[in-house]
Structure formats: structure tokens, C-alpha cells
Amino acid sequence: MLERLQQRLGLQTIPGIFFTSAAVAIVFVALAVPFDEQVAGSFGVLTGWVARNLGWFYILAVSSLLIFLLGLAVSRYGSIRLGGDDSRPDYTNLTWFTMLFAAGIGTILMFWGVAEPVSHFASPPFDGVDSRSEQAATDAMTISLYHFGLHTWTIFAMPGLAIAYFAYRHNLPMRISSLFYPVLGDRAFGPLGWAIDVIAVLGTLFGVATSLGLGTLQLNSGLNYLFGIPTNGFVQVVLITMIASIAAVSVALGLDKGVRRLSQLNIILAMILILFVAVVGPTIFIAEGMVQSVGDYFDALPWLAFWTETFKETDWQRQWTLFYWAWTISWAPYVGIFIARISRGRTIREFVAGVLFAPTAFTLVWFGVFGLSAISVESSGQVALAEQVQEDPSVAIFAFLEAFPLAEVASALSVVIIVIFFTTSSDSASLVIDTLTRREEQPSRVRQRIFWAAAQGVVAATLLLAGGLEALQNVITSLGLPFCLLLLFMAVSLFRALRADYRGYDVTDLVKGRAFPEVEATESEPKQENNDVSKTADRY
């Protein structure tokens, strides 16, 4: 039946994945629109339960994955290439960085770059720290970097590395279910694998919809500041419709013509905004603060990475850390596949170093310029920044820019950057969801990519109308748990495959139990060239 429906609609998909994912999204929207309060309340209850009982699991899982990736990079497996042994990267380092960053957390940094440091500066999360004190400023920067630094990019790097490895080195389909082939065998290409891919599709859809919702709130605030446009649900739905339309055009153009050019343009505009604030703001204070923040971050990282508020029963960690981790984890399948698509030919060591440290360095600069400047503005009393952020965090960057010359010009530039970050996130996600829902030999139909771009907009609008920022946070925190489990299984599966690869075996040997016979050479012996790549893609 699904095959006939697909033919009538002119689609090229795996029907079990495409139609199941679409049906769940449609049912969610159909229930959330008339029963918005009940849906929002249900997710609120579920989020509270997850935070009380499994918050520690999120913290432990993400920190453990960071240690695992760093260990891989410095181990003997670090020299293995994501592709054949003679393959080389498809993109230059600069192009690679701009693409992975724009598809990652560009929208998030625009929203929280000012709001989070000011929030922690005015309301310190740690006992015994006075509001607006020197220690409060230090902690505010350290926590912000913890939330958006190595841990965030660990969540993106784990699936990205695993997908690139299995796709380019073993010719498996670029799909989340392929990562479980060393564990599931051919079952990864049947209904069980489809179920994994449906989870990945829904995580991507709701994760990106959350970002689009936050971006819309911020965009509405910027337009209100510049042109007096009211901030309400109707305007936000119109904005989402407009941005989804732009994303649909970009996604129709494809990866190289659409996403790459928008990503490069946005990095240029973001750098212009950074330079503007750095020059007209407290330049020396920013430079000194950035140097100190690096030391504070790495000094606090070992204990902060495993801090779980055990002896302080508050809701702070649920509202901040758990929300960030769950949100980022829900993005993991999408960003992971996108990063994998642009990372062929790099070694594991190059991949881990690039994906973890290059964006973290940019994050340090971003928070160094915007976060430290915002703390300076709040301390000097130029703008009642903390009060406005507490009332509505979406206005943070626009209220902050009021303290500088050419505020309207800078705010207009911020609006443009938000729109492009918004668009690159949406069109990148649409490309990835399309990849997850079709076979590799099937052509990518424009109508399929446009459908997923539209679906993201509809879900984002529904979440906003169902409760705004709180609804966005509750939904994503609740849905992050199954993806967190998937990340841990990915690490196990990747490590098993790398051990076999190092000894010259293929993943099919691993599945059939031939990779680690007792009579074979020990793992300390060098790997033989592996030309026996898996030919399982046609089984899907």
C-alpha cells in the first residue's frame, strides 16, 4: 500500500521510514493545535521526571563520549582515514569549518551569546557567590563555555565520525541504522533499522524546529526594535512561513549551490558583527577576559563536566544544562550526517581535532566578545540588560547593542545573520532527513526536500503556539533521552569496527565472528590494507 502511495505522489523513498516519520509529525501537529495546553502540560510533567531521575545520565554520557573521542584521536586508530587509504578531503579547511559551524550552533549562539552570561552574572547558580561580583562574572563565562564548547561539539562529532567511517570506509548507507550493523548484522537493513532511522528523523525534525522557534522569537524581537512590528503568535507564524520558504529555495539548490554559499556568507557577516562589537566595545577588557576565560574554562572543566547538583535541590540544571544537552542530542543525527557528508578523506585525528576544537575556539571568541561586553554593559549601568533578559531572553542582543554607536545598523545586521543561520539550519536538516528516508541509489527529489523544510516550519509554529519558550524546552528535553542512548551504542559499534579495521578485517567479518579469532595476530601488529569493503548497501 505504501509503495502504491509513493508512486502516486511521485516520491523516491523507503516507505516505512518516510511515511512513518511524516505520520508521527502530522499526528503531533493535529493533537497539539486543539489541545495545546494538555500537550504542553504532558511534556512538562515528563521533563520534570527526566530531570529528577535521569539528569545524572545525561551529564555522565556526554562527558564520557568526550573522553572517548579524545582517546580515539590520540590512539593508533587516529590515523585511519574516513575513506580509502589514499583519499583526501573534498573541501578546504576553511570551507569545511564554515559549513559545519553554520549547520551546528550558529542560531543558538545568536540567541544565548548575550543572554546566558548576563543571566548567570545577575543570578549566580553557585552558593556563596554574590550577584554581579567578580566571581559571578568568572562563573558566568565558564558555564557558558561549558554549555557551548567541547561538550556540545562532542554530541555532534560522535555520530559524524561514526557515519563518515561506515559510509566512506565500508560503503554502508549514510544512515543512522548503518552504525549498528556491527551489532545487528543484516537486521540493520530491515524493520529494526527502519525504527532507528525513524527515531533519528523525528529527533532531527523536532530539534531543528526548536531552534527555528527560538530564532523566530529573537527575529520578532529584532523587528519590533527596528520597525515596531508587534511581538505575537501571528507575526511569528508569518516569520516562520517566510523563512521556511527561503530554506525551501536553498534546499532545492542542493548542498554546494545553496548551503555552502549561505554558510560562507553568514560567517563573513558574523565576523563583521564580532569585529564591530570588539572595536567599539571595551576592547582591552575583552582581550584580557578572553585569555582568562580559557584558563578558567579548562580549570573548571574536570569537575564541572560531572557536576550534578547532588547537594543542591534546585531546578537550575534542568533549565540550563539538561536542556542544552537534550537539545543538542536531538540535533545529533542531523548535524552528524551533515558533517559526515563534508568530511570524507580526513583522518580520525583530523576529524576529532577539527570538529571539537575549531568550533570551540570560535565559541570562545563569540562569548569573549558578546558575553564579556554584555557583563561590562550590565556592570556600568548603561542598559538594564539583566532585567530585560530575565523578562524575555530573545531581546538580549538587541538590548545589548543599544549601548553602542550605530545600534540600529548593528541590530539590522543581527537580523540578517539570524535569518541566514535560521535558513542554513533548516535547509541542511532537510537535506539530511531526505538522506535518512530514501535509498542511496534513489534520486533526491526536490519535492521531498521541500516537504521536510515545510514540516520543520509547521512543527516550530505549533510548538510556539503551544507555549513558547517553555514548551520548546520541555519537548526537546523529553525527546533527548532515546537519542542519548543511541549515541552510546554508536560509540560501542564504532570501537568494535575500528578494532577489526586495524587488524585488516571488514565489518562483515566482524558480524560473522571472524574478526577476532584466538589464533590471529595480536592487536599490536600493524593493520594490513583493507580493500574488502562491505557491499551491503543494496540490501536496504
Q: What is the mean pLDDT of residues 179-208?
A: 86
With a cut of 90, say whether residue 348 has pLDDT above it: yes
Cell numbers standing for residue 420: 541566514
Mean confidence (pLDDT) of the chain: 84
The answer for residues whose C-beta is within 8 angstroms of residue 106's C-beta and 6 or more apart is: 266, 270, 417, 421, 424, 425
Residue 287: pLDDT band (50, 70, 90) is very high
Task: Provide the residue ranges of all domains of the chain, joining segments of one domain with +.
Answer: 2-539
pTM recorded for the entire structure: 0.85
User: Domain 2-539, CATH 1.10.3470 — does that match?
Assistant: no
DSSP 92-157: -HHHHHHHHHHHTTHHHHHHHHHHHHHHHHHS-SSTT--TTSHHHHHHHHHHHHHHHSHHHHHHHH
Q: Give pLDDT, residue 306.
A: 95
Q: Give pLDDT, residue 469.
A: 60
Q: Which residue type is seen at 393?
A: P
The closest alpha carbon to 212, from 439, 407, 456, 45, belongs to 456
Question: Percent of the chain, pLDDT > 70?
Answer: 89
Question: Percent of the chain, pLDDT > 90?
Answer: 33
When computed from its CA atoms, the radius of gyration of the chain, rounded to whole angstroms, is: 23
**Residue 81, beta-bridge partner list:** 347
Helix ranges (DSSP H) in 10-124: 15-32, 36-74, 93-103, 106-122
Q: Which residue type is seen at 37?
A: E
Q: What is the mean pLDDT of residues 154-177?
A: 92
Q: Give pLDDT, residue 1.
A: 77
With a cut of 50, say whether residue 390 has pLDDT above it: yes
Residue 374 and residue 244 in contact, taking contact as beta carbons nearer than 8 Å:
no
Q: Give pLDDT, residue 103.
A: 54
Residue 353: pLDDT band (50, 70, 90) is very high
Residue 247 and residue 370 in contact, taking contact as beta carbons nearer than 8 Å:
no
Cell numbers standing for residue 196: 532507528
Q: What is the pLDDT of residues 488-504, one digit of tens each?
A: 999 999 998 998 888 87
Indicate the SS3 state at residue 79: helix
Q: What is the pLDDT of residues 2-14, one digit of tens each?
A: 888 888 888 889 9
Buried b (16+ CB within 10 A) or exposed e, 384-405: ebbebbeebbbbbbbbbbbbbe
Q: What is the pLDDT of residues 298-343, one digit of tens each?
A: 999 999 999 998 887 778 888 889 888 887 887 788 788 888 888 9
Q: What is the pLDDT of residues 436-478, one digit of tens each?
A: 898 888 887 888 888 988 898 888 888 777 766 666 667 777 7
With a cut of 90, say whether residue 94 has pLDDT above it: no
Q: What is the mean pLDDT of residues 30-43?
A: 78
